[in-house]
Structure 1
């Protein structure tokens, strides 16, 4: 396959990623082509590599996340692009961010185990919001009386935070406590501007500022 054909495939990939409202996997990108013209996986990977290089001098980048590939605004330009949208970035309570951090690092984990570590009750609004955002899901039930649900993060969680796997989470040895993790997550949320940011602009997050334990002090750590 010559360079002109590779360039055409690259342009098709770029057009599809610009139009898509979610990441596209390599197989999904290959399905864009008819069976008689479908490029081999190695050819697609080469075209994606070429596209990544072509974006290096642009205000957007090709990023591989858990669900596949997407084009997104570079973080350096987020504060300017954010001014296009009337809605301010969502702000989440410290309690929600700490709960999300515990699920990410201790998964699978039950609500009771989260409460034991934090030393306070976890508001139902927090769990509901995390599940509505599709950042966490129930992955089973613990074999103890009451069979409480066990929570874990999702592929959408990895996508949102620009990760391909949980191995990209900061090592616990580099983080002092839950509050520090919560701050890092919040900074990431505030900086995140997807290529098409209109999808989340009007989300109604019931627990963004009204959690029962929004102002409580931190009494647990991850260690």
Structure 2
């Protein structure tokens, strides 16, 4: 049976409340961020989804969960200050979907992909002065942090790599412009692709020892700004 999206039989205030309930229910039931296109299926043409989201967020103030923007979509998420309580009760963090923690090298490779996508494995290897293995790329793919991008216009047309919506969700990013200190690092030239390819790495791994796989990361993970 088709859903009545316009709800013209209801007074304006009740229509708005029903739209709010539908949108929150759809987001709550989803296992991944919900796009505007999906939400538009359950509300009327005159419904302003952004204002609905704002009203839902207002009602959730003081609750242990919130509505967050992720890669242009929306998702319910437990507030960070309840992570310790969740971990104590379940043995898991507030977001345990990403599998094991990344090693230092895996985290840094992911950082490079995030800032310079689409990027090839050969370019990543140039950044670090040593080969970035297919196995390492496989780890990032297995956690759905990266996916294949368009083929590079360079000789041989190798595949490039890009980050995914799972990456955005896991690190709490709405857009890639939310990456920590993006503008400052770019303005300072620390994340210049040309400089990195020339061997001017800010990561401190060129010529150094390789972090062992599985070793806890010695740097902050992408997106952790607190």
Q: Same fold (TM over 0.5)?
A: yes
Q: Distance in 2 between matches of 1:140 and 1:5?
A: 44
Distance 2:157 2:50 in 1: 45
Q: Larger Cα Rg: Structure 1 or Structure 2?
A: 2
Q: Does 1:139 align with 2:166?
A: no
The residue that corresponds to 2:210 in the other structure is none
Task: Report the counterpart of residue 48 of structure 2 in structure 1.
Answer: 43
* TM-score, structure 2 normalization: 0.70
Which one scores higher on RCO, CA 8 angstroms, separation ≥ 6?
1
Between the two proteins, the alignment pairs up a number of residues equal to 184
Counterpart position of 1:205: none
Residue number in structure 1 paired with 2:32:
22
* Match among 177, 183, 186 for residue 219 of structure 2: 183
Q: Is there any run of 5+ residues in structure 1 with no aligned partner, and where?
A: 192-223
- Residues 23-60 of structure 1, C-alpha deviations (whole Å, 9 max, x = no match): 111221222x3xxxx32364333221100111121111
Partner of 2:184: 173
CA distance in structure 2 between the partners assigned to 1:161 and 1:9 by the alignment:
29
Q: Which residue of 1 aligns with 2:60?
A: 55
Q: In the alignment, is the contact (CA less than 8 A) between 2:179 and 2:222 conserved in 1?
A: no
Q: Unaligned regions of 5+ residues in structure 2, if any?
A: 1-10, 191-201, 205-216
Q: Which residue in 1 is equivalent to 2:137?
A: 127
Distance in 2 separating the partners of 1:126 and 1:9: 45
Task: Report the alpha carbon displacement of residue 174 of structure 1 after superposing the two structures with TM.
Answer: 4.9
Does structure 1 residue 148 correspond to structure 2 residue 153? no
| Displacement of 1:134 | 2.2
Shift of 1:172: 5.8
- RMSD of Structure 2 on Structure 1 (CA): 2.8
Task: Report the 3-state secondary structure (helix = DSSP H, G, I; strand = E; otherwise coil) of the residue aligned with 1:140.
Answer: strand
